[in-house]
Structure 1
Amino acid sequence: MDALFNPRSIAVIGASKTPGKIGHAILTNIVKYGFRGRVYPVNPKYDEIEDLKCYPTVLDIPDEIDLAIIVIPAEQVPKAVGEAGAKGAKVAVVISSGFKEAGRADLEESLLEYARKYNIRILGPNIFGLCYTPKRLNATFGPQDVIPGSIALVSQSGALGIALMGWTIVEKVGLSALISLGNKADIDDADLLEWLRDDPNTSVILIYLEGVKDGRRFMEEARKTSVKKPVIVIKAGKTRRGMQAVASHTGSLAGMDSVYNAAFEQSGVLRAGSLEEAFDWARLFSTKKVSKGENTIIITNGGGVGVLATDACEELGVKLLDPTEDLKREFMAYMPPFGSPRNPVDITGQATHVEFEGAIDVAIRKDIINNIIVLYCQTAVADPIKLAEVLIKANKSTDKPIVAAMIGGEKVSEAMDMLKREGFPVYPTPERAVSSMAAMIKWSMKRRVL
């Protein structure tokens, strides 16, 4: 598996000079994203591509090959896998489609026969590739400029995975890895969990899942992983029609949703209800923090958003701390007489970034407080950019999880972009901030008993 993420040399079988061809996009991404190893295009039609010498077959390359990327018609893939294996490649990434998902299970089995003969692992087929940012490896036909970070995204859907690559760039979400699984003929979610569990560059694993091959092994690897880092799953195929769609999409058996829910609960997996929710949670987990307890405080400059957050906390089981009289007095130093030192701590619309900073500092210093939720409504007196600077500084000064929700106009959007670039978990609504904190608390408590 290490050759998949840390190859010294790559052969692109089916590389192309023609823009718009998948073989051209993958080779270009590998080269221009800055892969530091050796790259060998393979295509008998060309002498060179992208200023790289091109070889008729992988067997003609005068070097050892760790990783083979295969982008040729499905009927030619089994032979190409055999040649890559004969050359000593340890992993073949099969981009090509037209296998089990298209009714050609026989072709997929032929591919696996060659793989078994030469002891070569297979990622795919029917995938868009993989990306591992610590090694500057982007072997996909998706967007080129993936932002480095600590979130590993595993997707059984190719089109969805490519779309999410673009979305993470727009939303300033940093990725450590992005792996497309497709038909999972060989390498599956459990294999990736086993490797990513010990990857120091990954702090959270997010999986788009349609079905699993070996439920028992998936649960075991997920449990072992969840002790070390969170595993978030978006499970598709919850309904009868959804299960039918899964079967036609990747040939997977979706299985009963209630069975998956029970398995996820037992293994410590966090199941997200949507893509938005999954990435919201991942933003917080990418800070690599762990909650030490359930006591949560809300600090807000708006009563309304405080009430919304309180409702969300009640619905999601987030325990709001009842402040002691001494703690109330400390919070009161940062609010006018008509503010509220209860929880939510309402420092009112008169608060500037200075009052926010003071109240947040109290929450950080008090051991009884484990988690901090900051809510901001744009006002004329509180500069959102200055508040963003306060939040970044506070987040770096403590191991307590901190999230924020910011509501307002253009300047608030600018402040939120600033926070995202710094890896601070910020959201456009209080409910999304609370949902993320609820996931953090649930995982932090659950990992203790796995």
Structure 2
Amino acid sequence: MGDIRSHRRTADDYAKAFADLEPPLSRKAAIVEASRCLFCYDAPCVEACPTSIDIPRFIRGIQTDNVRGAAMTILDANILGGTCARVCPTEILCEGSCVRLDQDHEPVMIGALQRYATDYLFERGEQPFTRAPATGRKVAVVGAGPAGLACAHHLARLGHDVVIFEKKPKGGGLNEYGIATYKMTNDFAQREVDFLLSLGGIEIRHGVVLGMDVHVADLAEQYDAVFLGIGMGGTNALRIEGEELDGVMNAVVFIESLRQAADKGELPIGRDVVVIGGGNTAIDMATQAKRLGAENVTIVYRRGVEHMGATGYEQEVAQTNGVKIQLWAAPVRILGDGGRVAGIEFEYTRLDERGTLALTGERFVLPADQVFKAVGQNLVAADLNGSAERLAMAGSKIAVDTDRRTSMPRVWAGGDATGLDQDLTVVAVEDGKIAARSIHSFLAGN
């Protein structure tokens, strides 16, 4: 990709482009914002939070300057509350349910207040949790993403020892490798992992691949229980002509490279970039391409704005960064020149009388020297090698019950690979908590 690699900006430009999207609240601003909370008895914001954080209680702590207590309330319910404060779609969860939204059209800034409280605790390097007496039980957790980390931390607090098997060199999962850099700055994902591990009783073994180095059935025999938080390691293909051309990339792969890059100016970025997809990954990819120096960035989605997986807020972020969003168009082929991508042809789409997506026959071409695919991820079958026949599946995902138990004895699962709910960090954390409680009950003989 040499012809599109270019240092188009200075180091200061890159630093500004990938600084915090939303700066943290000051102490004064946090106290003022906390005073707007009505402290509802049957708070709808709590009902809207997948991890059921006692939001009025932690906001009361900020209002009374008991920030440590506020952080404890958050982290007791959601150990990754610092990340969730930064990346949760609060506009459709807690803030979207805030009573203030109906009264004065401005909800309490719950996400910003949550970040203020958790940052306060992390900056002091304090570990507020303690472990229960050792139980002598050992649990294997596969995947150091949000679901696995939450499960491990909860089990460790209950006195169990946990070994996490992780294929990548760092823990954190998508928090470390898959979220837009401007949402998670200053190596926050690793600081959060370090905080979680400082509780004790949790060991992470890196470079271990499920289905190759370890197998689910073997872990179930060697450990008292197993939790699978393996996520969605594969990426969907467009399955169109030209997909193999140089310059066509998976968005998740590029975002991972961007998050790990010491020098963002070394990353290959085109002048005319097209991103295929309508979810948060597409938004993150497009916005970051623009901030890296791409001149023209267009997101193309096959349906309407109301069908996009990305929230209205995320769409606004992209558009305010200069990204164009083209709706009702599906890619039909990628055009090449000398083995490199030169453009991409689309066909307009519509919904027919049955509500099914249909092609109209009318086509257009967008120039492109780089195309990013953000059309979803999938469970890698090889990860379950040797165990798939014993794990019941729900479609393409692992089937679990309400306690996150799988069909295999002593094996639980959660997070994106189970797909019980939205693919959100906060949902994965709750899956890990629910599974940990169920595992603890099982180990206690209940």
Report the TM-score when normalising by structure 1.
0.26
Report the TM-score when normalising by structure 2.
0.27
More helix by share: 1
The higher radius of gyration belongs to 1
Q: Which has the higher contact order (CA 8 A, sep 6+)?
A: 2
